[in-house]
Structure 1
């Protein structure tokens, strides 16, 4: 089926959302038990961790871990925001750089400024957006605002309402920094996150059971296997371990001199989507198909371009002495295999 569809349903009693593009599952969100990224707490400083430059904090949902805590004393209250999911046996990661993110705007309380997405080129639209900003924020207010690329196609009234809602929420939370540990803002659930992040024009499907009728369940079934066929006849195997995610690339039946490069280039194009759908992050090691060292630069360029289009932060670390390629990816989601088990 051509075009994009946002499909909202439940799976195993969990709220979930799927983005289908031309009949192919492009993204998938499902609720878990852990606090979601974006959750904001008033936390209480507990105990520092020597040698790591961090501190454990107390929250109503258990301990969280904050890095770079110079000048923070035990017992001190502070506002923190969940940045991702924790590895097994570790505390939830948080930051003091609290953001308030919605479909059209990002409010940055600790970073003053008025910014509009560079992807919006039309001067008339930019002038209109600046006018909306001045209506909501005073020029001397110590609070920043970023207008997202979705503003290019949004209606002025909706954008103004969205900005006002986010700014009001930010003011309320920032003024509530004193007191015992408390949950102040919950991170977005899958349906709300889908509305916030999937802003391209799409048909929205909400009927009960639409995952089955629109092919989502079949696509999820394919993600349960570690084997991923690649364009050109090659394949890769994506296998999470406790320490890292191992990706093994094979050329298949192709024995030509260029087979290794072809399989590795296909891996570069397919990998961001596979990691995103499977909810995998942390350390990722690629055991690539054999190719001449002179082709490494071409592979790196393709990999960089592929991850540039992916919204989950990923650092391309580089080559190891054994010829593997390493990545470091933010744990923005829980592993799909755990949520579907």
Structure 2
């Protein structure tokens, strides 16, 4: 199967979406019982946590934790947005800096100005998009980011998308309620697939698509700790309460360069492996043995691999024991929590 295919179906009774690229499962989204990132609440400030520089706030879905609380006092009403999935037993992470995100546009009330994605390089295209944006946003004080999906998009659809997000932002920000309430629901798996997988693709939405195309077998493999690497090596990816452990093994290769080859294969495969498993937070790589002089090559490969990944990942660097650490946004529901 060549090209890109998006399959919209159900898995384990939940709406789910799979992205197949050249016959290989590249991404997977599934609905959750937890509030989805992007959900916006009218919340009530509860109690500050001075040692952590934040405050617990009350939402319809339970307690949430907000950082950067300067000027906020207990009992105040405020608007907050879910930024990711919480760790087990912890509060929902939220921010007071709201974003209104769709396929073509991101409206940014706290950051005025109109910007176009850097990936859109054609000067004529950028100018045409700016003209559309300025026309639609002429009477708005909100900021706007035009996403990479605008490149090749229909002008009418882009304009409608901008107008819809701007109107939603205005509606939410004008809220003056005095009770805790959910104002905007975060996107489900099918809507998120439409929003984020914007490159041209065949879309299959008939029931049973996962079974017909063998996606269920791929998902069974994703549920395992074992992840094969090109060249014969493999990874063991195991989430713990504190962090995600990634163990790199060379397999049957006993050559002098076996460690470097396995680590480079790990760098290329890791974004997909973490993305499919929905893993984030602190990630520690226990790499195969390799000379210190090869560390820079490994870091370069790792940085290139994560550059186009959908979740924000910080490459923290090396530990004294020779492990490599990353910090990754918890923007996905962990696969093991639904499988």
Which interval holds the TM-score relative to the shorter structure? over 0.9
Q: How far 1:128 moved relative to its partner?
A: 1.8
Q: How far 1:24 moved relative to its partner?
A: 0.5
Moved more, 267-276 or 327-336: 327-336
Residue equivalent to 2:90: 90
Q: Secondary structure at the match of 1:316?
A: strand
Q: Secondary structure at the match of 1:18?
A: strand
Q: Secondary structure at the match of 1:51?
A: helix
Normalising by structure 2, we get a TM-score of 0.98
CA-based RMSD: 0.9
Structure 2 CA distance for aligned equivalents of residues 250 and 196 of structure 1 = 37
Residue equivalent to 1:127: 127
Q: Secondary structure at the match of 1:5?
A: strand
Q: How far 1:177 moved relative to its partner?
A: 4.5
Residue equivalent to 1:75: 75
Structure 1 unaligned segments of length 5 or more: list them. Answer: none
Q: Please say if residues 77 and 177 of structure 1, whose CA atoms lie closer than 8 Å, have aligned partners that are also in contact.
A: no
1:8 aligns with 2:8: yes
Q: Please say if residues 14 and 31 of structure 1, whose CA atoms lie closer than 8 Å, have aligned partners that are also in contact.
A: yes
Q: Secondary structure at the match of 2:51?
A: coil
Residue equivalent to 1:100: 100
Q: Residues 104-115 of structure 1: matches in 2 within 5 Å? A: 104-115=104-115
Q: Residues 198-277 of structure 1: matches in 2 within 5 Å? A: 198-277=197-276
Q: How far 1:153 moved relative to its partner?
A: 1.0
Structure 2 CA distance for aligned equivalents of residues 136 and 332 of structure 1 = 30
Structure 2 CA distance for aligned equivalents of residues 149 and 17 of structure 1 = 21
Q: How far 1:165 moved relative to its partner?
A: 0.6
1:173 aligns with 2:208: no
Q: How far 1:156 moved relative to its partner?
A: 0.6
In the comparison of the two structures, how many residue pairs are matched? 339
Residue equivalent to 1:324: 323
Q: How far 1:178 moved relative to its partner?
A: 4.0
Q: How far 1:142 moved relative to its partner?
A: 2.5
Normalising by structure 1, we get a TM-score of 0.98
Q: Please say if residues 45 and 75 of structure 1, whose CA atoms lie closer than 8 Å, have aligned partners that are also in contact.
A: yes
Residue equivalent to 1:65: 65
Moved more, 270-279 or 113-122: 113-122
Structure 2 CA distance for aligned equivalents of residues 177 and 311 of structure 1 = 34
Residue equivalent to 1:116: 116
1:286 aligns with 2:285: yes
Q: How far 1:324 moved relative to its partner?
A: 0.6
Q: How far 1:252 moved relative to its partner?
A: 1.0
Measured against aligned partners, the alpha-carbon deviations of 1:214-241 in whole angstroms (never above 9, x if no partner) come to 1211110111211111101111110111
